[in-house]
């Protein structure tokens, strides 16, 4: 027997025992029992591995497997019978592969050589008297002789646990905006608007200048983001990880769309209004034509100066495309030395992200944007009756994930953000 005969079974049984331990509502006594079984399992299969590698003691392996299967006899069948039966079936399958009629050590190449060493010596000297002279084989034995080919059972396959997900670029926008929850589907804020009149220095006894002020409300309505997937009942029953992987996939899909719209949502129709839609362009003119050979660092610095000149002094974050960032940080001076932009970018955190198109940039105090959750992420499973317009269908399990959220920013604070193209700003500030 080869060690590879029981390695797949070992992985399968280990996972089944883990499933028992992680079930909901497992009592402390049952947990202790499962823990003892787990320890016995590891010891049993360690010893089996040693015996298998030595090629001997096959009946001893069968005894150990029988003893281990017996440890499940006292466990409550009503709650855990399905898993226990699966483990015992795996044990029986493994025992069926053993040739238990003998414990005679298998012949090794070393013992074979010792038995025929004189013949080997003569073979090297005369190339005669082959030790295999009385052996005859109809064909060379190879895995290709196993039918059907390729064969799903032999040689055995070890499945690496888990599913390897699709890798997507990181989305950082929610790391920087203000986040919170609300208890109503409508949210409003009050903006101060410019009134009339102002304070002034006046002469003694003169009338004081009159001023007034106004306020204006601004509101946002909760929007729903959702996704669904349809899976057959057999799919969920037959593939043990399908339910958890499906939930992971729909969560990832919904979160990626949510983050994308927090950045770029238009606010039209059913979309929330995102950060980039609130942001205005670069508009100040005090630095036009004054910067020699500007690039991305200089563009971010002048945009930051616009933000600060409007009275915003919070932490600034700049979102740029990785290609633009790399092109600029690799700029060199006349002597071939890399330029140092650390002082220019001081006080600005630069985030490289594929969420921003090449030649675009977004910079600002993103905490001025408020992302609010009205109904948090939820997942529902259900069957349907094939009614018109229903998300649910008969005999199909439908899984629906959804959230209800909104994004809002005061019109008095949109000056804290600047979104524009690098080439446009370079064209404005470049020294003639």
Determine the length of the chain.
432
CATH of 173-181+220-432, one of 3.20.20.80, 3.30.2400.10, 3.40.50.720, 3.40.50.180: 3.30.2400.10
pLDDT above 70 (res 55):
no
pLDDT above 90 (res 97):
no
Q: What is the pLDDT of residue 137?
A: 47
Contact between 359 and 423 under an 8 Å Cβ cutoff? The reply is yes
Instruction: Identify the band that residue 6 occupies on the pLDDT scale cut at 50, 70 and 90.
Output: low
Q: Which residue has the tokens 């100066």?
A: 305
Q: 237 or 431: which carries more pLDDT confidence?
A: 431
Structure tokens at 147: 């039918």
**DSSP 8-state code for residue 13:** H
pLDDT above 90 (res 324):
yes
Do the bridges between strand 214-221 and strand 370-382 make them parallel or antiparallel, or are there none, so unpaired? Answer: unpaired
pLDDT per residue as tens digits for the range 130-150 = 544 444 445 566 666 677 777
- What Cα–Cα distance (Å) separates residue 309 from each residue in 159, 283, 312, 416? 61, 12, 7, 10
Ranges for all domains in the chain classified under CATH 3.30.2400.10: 173-181+220-432
Q: What is the pLDDT of residue 179?
A: 94
pLDDT above 70 (res 180):
yes
Contact between 250 and 229 under an 8 Å Cβ cutoff? The reply is yes
Q: What is the pLDDT of residue 133?
A: 42
pLDDT above 70 (res 170):
yes
Phi, psi of 332 (to 5 degrees): -125, 155
Q: Which residue has the tokens 């079984």?
A: 37
pLDDT per residue as tens digits for the range 12-53 = 777 777 777 777 777 777 777 777 777 777 777 777 766 665
pLDDT per residue as tens digits for the range 238-267 = 777 778 888 888 999 999 999 999 999 999
Do the bridges between strand 370-382 and strand 178-181 make them parallel or antiparallel, or are there none, so unpaired? Answer: parallel
**DSSP 8-state code for residue 293:** S
């Amino acid at each position: 027997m080869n060690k590879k005969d029981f390695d797949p079974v070992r992985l399968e049984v280990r996972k089944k025992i883990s499933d028992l331990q992680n079930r909901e509502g497992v009592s402390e006594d049952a947990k202790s029992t499962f823990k003892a079984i787990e320890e016995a399992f590891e010891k049993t299969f360690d010893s089996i591995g040693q015996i298998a590698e030595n090629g001997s003691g096959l009946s001893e392996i069968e005894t150990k497997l029988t003893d281990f299967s017996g440890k499940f006899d006292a466990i409550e069948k009503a709650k855990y019978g399905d898993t226990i039966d699966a483990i015992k079936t795996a044990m029986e399958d493994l025992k069926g592969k053993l040739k238990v009629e003998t414990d005679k050590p298998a012949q090794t190449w070393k013992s074979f050589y010792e038995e025929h060493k004189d013949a080997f010596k003569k073979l090297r000297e005369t190339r005669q008297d082959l030790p295999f002279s009385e052996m005859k084989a109809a064909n060379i034995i190879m895995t290709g002789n196993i039918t059907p080919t390729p064969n799903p059972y032999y040689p055995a396959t070890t499945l690496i646990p888990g599913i390897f997900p699709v890798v997507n670029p990181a989305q950082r926008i929610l790391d920087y905006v203000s986040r919170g929850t609300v208890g109503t589907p409508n949210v409003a804020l009050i903006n101060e608007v410019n009134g009339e009149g102002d304070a002034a220095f006046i002469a003694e006894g003169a009338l004081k200048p009159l001023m007034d002020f106004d306020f204006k409300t601004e509101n946002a309505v909760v929007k729903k983001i959702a996704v669904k997937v349809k899976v057959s009942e057999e799919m969920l029953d037959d593939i043990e990880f399908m339910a958890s992987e499906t939930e992971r996939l729909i969560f990832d899909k919904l979160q990626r769309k949510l983050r994308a719209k927090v950045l770029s949502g238009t606010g039209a129709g059913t979309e929330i209004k995102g950060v980039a839609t609130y942001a205005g362009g670069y508009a100040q003119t005090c630095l036009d034509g004054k910067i020699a050979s500007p690039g991305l660092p200089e563009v971010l610095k002048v945009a930051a100066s616009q933000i600060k000149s409007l009275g915003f002094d919070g932490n600034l974050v700049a979102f740029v495309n990785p290609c633009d960032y790399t092109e600029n940080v690799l700029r060199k001076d006349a002597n071939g030395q890399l330029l140092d932009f650390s002082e220019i970018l001081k006080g600005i955190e630069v985030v490289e992200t594929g969420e921003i198109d090449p030649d675009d940039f977004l910079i600002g105090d993103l905490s001025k944007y408020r992302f609010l959750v009205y109904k948090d992420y939820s997942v529902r499973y259900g069957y349907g009756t094939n009614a018109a317009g229903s998300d649910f269908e008969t005999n199909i399990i439908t899984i629906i994930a959804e959230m209800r959220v909104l994004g809002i920013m005061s019109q008095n604070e949109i000056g804290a953000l600047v979104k524009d193209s690098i080439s446009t700003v370079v064209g404005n500030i470049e020294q003639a």
